[in-house]
Amino acid sequence: MGFEPIGRSPTANYQKMTKAELIKTILAHAPSPWVPPAKDEGVLQDLRFRQRELGRAKRQLQEAQQKLNSIKMETVQRLTSGVAHVFNNLLTPIKGYSELLLKRASPADPLRRYAEQISKAADCAASVICQLQAFAGRQKRVPKVLDLNAVLADMTPRLRQLIGEQAELVTLWGHELRRVKADPAQIEQVMMNLVLNARDAMPYSGQLTTETANVEL
């Protein structure tokens, strides 16, 4: 019995086939599972290779960026250490002479209060230098048990100078304040940054209120 393969001609004489012959014919002409030609397989392999290379390049770029950031940080730390060293050398005679003036000036001497302000300013500068050295890895932070009221009271004259005449600095002191363990230099730096930010936010007038209290977080 003659016929043409299914799909080649609309005149294929499959209507006269038995069921068994029709199944046999369909199986004989059914398409096999797709296998990419050799050319397509080469393209796929090339794509996979490029993906692997791209992933490797991304990892190398990330490693290079991390190394560059590390070099930048090391450079900044060296520069910071050098600046701290220079300022420490400049500060040493200022602190020394202010202490000498305090020893020689009597309590009634009107110039004594100026020497006290110079000495306190030198102490403040010394704390900043300590922070620079700590950032540069040359000095460790040393937490101490502190009375925040005493720390802020000592800082208040310097904070008033920082905020300027256009704004008012008000401090509310907490009663029976519990002591805290912290680095005094860090506390001073935080307060100075707070005052400077407040001053910039109040260019004409305003009031900055600081308060100490026992608070549980």
Kindly report the average pLDDT of the chain as a whole number.
78
Residue 22 has pLDDT above 70, yes or no: no
Tokens of 36: 């990419």
Is residue 150 assigned to a domain? yes
Residue 36 has pLDDT above 60, yes or no: no
Give per-residue pLDDT as tens, 52-95: 888 888 888 888 888 888 888 888 878 888 888 888 888 888 88
Same domain, 107 and 150: no
Tokens of 117: 């302000």
Same domain, 162 and 126: no
Distance separating alpha carbons of residues 85 and 88, to the nearest angstrom: 5
Tokens of 130: 């300590």
Same domain, 150 and 194: yes
Residue 203 has pLDDT above 70, yes or no: yes
Is residue 18 assigned to a domain? no
Residue 109 has pLDDT above 80, yes or no: yes
Q: Is the dihedral of CA 44, 45, 46, 50 positive or negative?
A: positive
pLDDT level of residue 19 (50, 70, 90 thresholds): low
Same domain, 118 and 99: yes
For range 141-163, the mean pLDDT? 84
Taking residue 130's Cβ as centre, other Cβ atoms within 10 Å add up to 22
User: Can you point out the beta strands (E) in the chain?
Assistant: 144-146, 167-172, 180-182, 206-211
Is residue 21 assigned to a domain? no
Same domain, 103 and 124: yes
